[in-house]
Amino acid sequence: MDWQHYLTDYNEGLGLVYERFVLNDFLLKMQAEHGVESVLEAPLYGMAGVSGINSVALAEAGCEVTLADNNPVRLAGVQRIWNELGLPVSLVHVNDWGALPFEASTFDLAWEWAGLWYLGDAQALIEELVRVSRDLVFIAMPNRWQVGYLMRKYLLEPEFFERIGGREAWVNMNMIKRLLRWLDVEIIDEGVLDVPPWPDTVMPAGQVLEKLGVRSERMQDQFSGDDWEWSTMAYYLGEQPELRARVMRYAWLDHAPLPWQVKSVWAHHRYVVGRKR
């Protein structure tokens, strides 16, 4: 992930802005239903684009937010971003994802989004998320069955999958559910999130076209330039208050009253929510 670039350039692309708004809705719904007041997101990276802003909506709702990372440069950049937003946050440097520096049962919600396959020992992190939560654990990973995932794996970015190697196994939500149950966590919800009408390729649209050999200047111009700038930060900072309405018009499939198993054919992410017994 080109995370350093996005610490100063907030133009993430339509797909990422959509993903954040859908995630915001889910987090706020969970916060309201379960009375969540304190939150740990670890690691704070996982989603592409701007690092460290997945929990902004929870902070705006009054939650005490703690974010964990093992990279001091990224932590400093995230702190500057939250200062720009004018929101309180606790940023914690972690040396070992298998030994988070928190007491047991510290947070109402401990969660991660799409970050497990970047870790040397994802199981150790999940065990720690369970340990430091007093109630809920929320885990989401990319959906391996959707078209964009397969395009990314075999056409667009095979080198990424070579790099993560066996850690790709952590997209298997059934494996994660078995681990949570073994840790005495009751599964209270599971499903899919982030189901827009385009495939999840992670790359900007213009770069995807280039990778696929599409050289049309008209097509390239359509997905670049000032007319193709999408920034969640611009919405959070009040610079583009209309952005959410523009983006969420594409959420008809996310909101459709269909079984999540049907949506999983196209959904970008699978998730599970557990409660400590």
Question: What's 48's domain CATH number?
Answer: 3.40.50.150
Number of separate domains in the chain: 1
Report if residue 208 sits inside a domain. no
The two tokens of residue 118 are: 């970047």
Report if residue 62 sits inside a domain. yes
Q: Helix, strand or coil for residue 196?
A: coil
Indicate the average pLDDT of the chain.
92
Report if residue 158 sits inside a domain. no
Q: Give every residue of the chain whose pLDDT is below 70, as ranges.
A: 1, 201-228
pLDDT at 204: 57
Q: Are 91 and 103 in contact (CB under 8 A)?
A: no
Report if residue 157 sits inside a domain. no
H helices of 61-104, in order, are 72-85
pLDDT at 241: 96
Report if residue 214 sits inside a domain. no
Report if residue 29 sits inside a domain. yes
pLDDT at 258: 96
pLDDT at 219: 43
pLDDT at 225: 55
H helices of the chain, in order, are 3-6, 14-34, 56-60, 72-85, 122-132, 147-151, 158-164, 173-182, 205-211, 217-222, 232-236, 243-248, 252-255, 260-263
Residue-number span of the structural domain to which 117 is assigned: 3-145+165-199+229-276
DSSP secondary-structure letter at 75?
Answer: H
Report if residue 121 sits inside a domain. yes
Report if residue 188 sits inside a domain. yes
